[in-house]
């Protein structure tokens, strides 16, 4: 196996089965695997935009306000930790392994944590309902407000900062930070390699 570092795929010729790199080198292949990684999946919610506390509009697909953080990198985790130090509540969306671990870790710091998840019990894909109920009780005993069968429908932004989230159950919260741990999707290949489909796309 040959490892090539410091170069990006610049052009893909499927007919010639050849990949051109950003430094001009060409690599031939018999089979090509597009291992382009993953991107965090953000929920399709609207954003209520306010300026100085006054309503400025409601936009679908608008840019998320500061304070909405995906859970992918160490920088994401550090950003959430910094925001949780302000004493404002934190909302975690996602009841899988990462969401549960994030909620517990934040609760241990003394933060006020709300965990929203779409299933009937946390980690419903990994644990049976009885184990899920035990986990829910453990989360609750740690001070985590666990809300089942709940998703985020709207984020409220004031001067670009997250000030509230509204959920599918009609309830709301006023978090300083909303941590999204709701899965990932395959990263989209660049336009020059659009003729190929990424695994799972």
What was the pLDDT predicted at 191? 45
Half-sphere exposure of 174 (CA within 13 A, CB side): 3
* pLDDT value of residue 197: 41
Q: Are residues 8 and 60 in the same domain?
A: no
Contacts with 197 (C-beta within 8 Å, 6 or more apart), sequence order: 34
pLDDT for res 194: 47
* One domain for residues 79 and 137: yes
Rounded to 10°, the helix 97-108/129-141 angle is 20
Full pLDDT tens readout for the chain, 201 residues? 889 998 888 888 989 999 899 999 999 999 988 887 888 888 788 999 999 988 888 777 668 899 998 888 888 888 888 888 777 789 999 999 999 999 999 999 888 999 999 999 999 999 999 999 999 999 999 999 999 999 999 999 999 999 999 999 887 777 878 888 888 887 765 544 444 443 443
Question: Between vectors from CA 167 to CA 166 and to CA 169, what angle results, nearest 5°?
Answer: 130
Same domain flag for 34 and 82: no
Structure tokens at 15: 């007919």
Statement to judge: residues 89 and 144 lie in one domain? yes
Q: What is d(CA 96, CA 64) in angstroms, rounded to the nearest whole number?
A: 22
So what's the pLDDT on residue 185?
Answer: 82
Whether residues 177 and 91 share a domain: the answer is: yes
Task: Note whether 198 and 150 are same-domain residues.
Answer: no
| Same-domain status, 15 and 72 | no
Q: Give the separation between CA 17 and CA 28, rounded to whole angstroms.
A: 6
β-bridge mates for residue 158, sequence order? 50, 161
Axis-axis angle for helices 74-84, 97-108 (nearest 10): 40
User: What pLDDT is attached to residue 94?
Assistant: 93
Domain with 1 in it:
1-38+186-201
Specify the pLDDT at position 37. Answer: 81
- Environment class of residue 95 by beta-carbon count within 10 Å: exposed (0-12), middle (13-18) or buried (19+)? buried
pLDDT at 198: 39
Which structure tokens are listed for 53?
């506390």
| pLDDT value at residue 127 | 94
How many independent structural domains does the chain possess? 2
Query: What's the confidence (pLDDT) of residue 61?
Result: 64
Residues 72, 183: Cα–Cα separation, whole Å: 10
- Return the CATH number at 112: 3.50.50.60
pLDDT value at position 192? 43
Instruction: Please indicate, yes or no, whether residues 34 and 81 belong to a single structural domain of this protein.
Output: no
Specify whether 49 is located in the same domain as 31.
no
171 & 193 share domain = no
Verify that 159 and 84 share a domain, yes or no: yes
Residue 177: per-residue pLDDT: 83
Are 75 and 134 in the same domain? yes
């Amino acid at each position: 196996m040959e490892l090539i570092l410091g170069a990006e795929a610049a052009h893909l010729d499927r007919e010639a089965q050849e990949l051109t790199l950003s430094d001009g080198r060409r690599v031939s292949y018999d089979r090509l695997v597009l291992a382009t990684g993953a991107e965090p999946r953000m929920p399709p919610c609207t954003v209520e935009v306010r300026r100085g506390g006054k309503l400025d509009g409601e936009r679908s697909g608008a840019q998320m306000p500061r304070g909405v953080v995906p859970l992918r990198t160490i920088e994401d985790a550090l950003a959430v930790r910094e925001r949780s130090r302000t004493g404002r509540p934190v909302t975690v969306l996602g009841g899988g392994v990462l969401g549960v671990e994030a909620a517990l870790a934040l609760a241990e710091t003394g933060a006020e944590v709300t965990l929203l998840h779409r299933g009937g019990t946390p980690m419903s894909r990994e644990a049976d309902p009885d184990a899920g109920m035990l986990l829910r009780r453990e989360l609750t005993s740690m001070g985590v407000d666990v809300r089942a069968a709940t998703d985020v429908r709207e984020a409220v932004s004031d001067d670009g900062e997250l000030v509230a989230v509204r959920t599918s159950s009609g309830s709301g919260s006023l978090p300083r930070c909303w941590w999204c741990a709701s899965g990932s999707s395959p990263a989209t290949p660049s336009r020059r390699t659009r003729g190929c489909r990424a695994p799972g796309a």
